[in-house]
Amino acid sequence: MIITTPLIQSGDSSMRIQNLFQDQQDLIQPNPYPQYEIPDSGTTTRDLTAQPHVEHLLSEHILDIYIQDKLTIRLTCTAVNLPELVLGRLLSEGIIRSAEDVDLLYICQTGHRARVFLNHMKHPESASSGAFNESEESFVELTPTCCTGTRVLNQDFVQDLPFAKVRLTDWDLKFIQDCDHFLKTDFPLHNISGSTHAAGLFHKRKWYCMYEDIGRHNAIDKAIGRALIDGLDLSRCALYTTGRMPVDVIQKVIRSGIPLIAGKETPTAESLQLAVSCDLTVIGKIRNGHYTLYSGRPPVTEVLPDHLRTDF
């Protein structure tokens, strides 16, 4: 796979990287968190004079994803880590099964368009030129930022496969402590704007990666995409999300082959039914050492040393 965008390091020798831009600021326009003057900030407990001040507000970035030069997905996101977002979305929506299905990923300099060419239909010459056929573009409905109805705009490239069972996994109570530590992580975008969700992959007894986005689905996709770029075995990972766990989130995790999802929120009745049918471990309400196990095996009674562990 060729990724034509900056700042991507790959652990997969089959993936060639072409750096087109000097730094991330060349790719990201506009500023993901511009400043705005706010007219008032106060409290209901006492009478205060209006206090104008300046705040950073998160920008909603529109990204169009073209597959084989056909507009397939339009989504709202935070304009950082776009290659990870695109690859993770392709896997979690059932468009690809692995990074090997992707021949080329190109992201334009403004970060508003991504072009993907799958291996069974290659057109790398047109992608490298950066040209788009505007006459083929039609009106599409915008995918909401953070809702339970996240969807692909057309089904031409979706592989309509049944959900497969994931690997039933073991976990220990040390993992709950690690999840508590995740929530205490210093997330820069959230610290500035207070408007992001976060997701991370847990691998080999530590947090392998952590990502932020205005949408919880996007944050999950960015973490999954990072694993694809690095050639990481997702069946040996656990996923943590700060958002709710409805059906479409559970579907993403199952399609990616991740055996465990954890978070501070809860699943729905329907998402739990799907998780149970696919052997997915679901742990919610993780706060200050407390948790609720919704599906999967109970925790092992001892923390195994690294050389004896067979799970994440």
184-204: pLDDT as tens digits = 877 766 666 666 889 999 999
Rg of the chain (C-alpha set): 20
What percent of the chain is predicted at pLDDT more than 70? 65
Confidence (pLDDT) at 35: 65
What number is the average pLDDT over the span 266-294? 97
Q: Residue 63 falls within a domain, yes or no? A: no
Confidence (pLDDT) at 157: 67
Using alpha carbons, select from 212, 292, 226 the residue that is nearest to residue 256.
226
Higher per-residue confidence, 42 vs 243: 243
Q: Residue 227 falls within a domain, yes or no? A: yes
Confidence (pLDDT) at 153: 56
* Domain span at 191: 173-308
Q: Residue 162 falls within a domain, yes or no? A: no
Higher per-residue confidence, 32 vs 275: 275
C-alpha dihedral, 89 to 100 to 228 to 73, nearest 10° = -10
Q: Is the pLDDT of residue 293 over 70?
A: yes
Q: Residue 41 falls within a domain, yes or no? A: no
Q: Residue 147 falls within a domain, yes or no? A: no
Using alpha carbons, select from 216, 228, 312 the residue that is nearest to residue 264.
216
Number of C-beta neighbours around residue 193 at 10 A = 19
For 161-220, the three-class secondary structure string (H helix, E strand, C coil) is CCCCCCCCCCCEHHHHHHHHHHHCCCCHHHHHHCCCEEEEEEECCEEEEEEEECCHHHHH
Token match 């959900």: residue? 163
Kindly give, in sequence order, each residue whose CB lies less than 8 Å from that of residue 195, ignoring residues fewer than 6 positions away: 57, 58, 189, 214
**CA–CA distance, 123 with 120 (Å, rounded to integer):** 10
The answer to which of 153-157, 161-165, 247-251, 279-283 has the lowest mean pLDDT is 153-157
What number is the average pLDDT over the span 224-233? 95
Higher per-residue confidence, 25 vs 1: 1
Q: Residue 139 falls within a domain, yes or no? A: no
Q: Flag whether the pTM goes above 0.85.
A: no
Using alpha carbons, select from 298, 214, 221 the residue that is nearest to residue 258.
221
Look over the chain and give the mean of its residue pLDDT values, rounded to a whole number.
Answer: 78
Q: Is the pLDDT of residue 160 over 90?
A: no
- List the CATH number of the domain containing 272: 3.40.140.10
Higher per-residue confidence, 151 vs 234: 234
Q: Residue 230 falls within a domain, yes or no? A: yes
Q: Residue 198 falls within a domain, yes or no? A: yes
**CA–CA distance, 163 with 296 (Å, rounded to integer):** 17
Number of C-beta neighbours around residue 19 at 10 A = 11
65-89: pLDDT as tens digits = 999 999 999 999 988 899 999 999 9
What number is the average pLDDT over the span 289-298? 96
**CA–CA distance, 38 with 50 (Å, rounded to integer):** 10
How many domains is the chain partitioned into structurally? 1
Helices 247-256 & 216-230 angle (0-180, nearest 10): 0
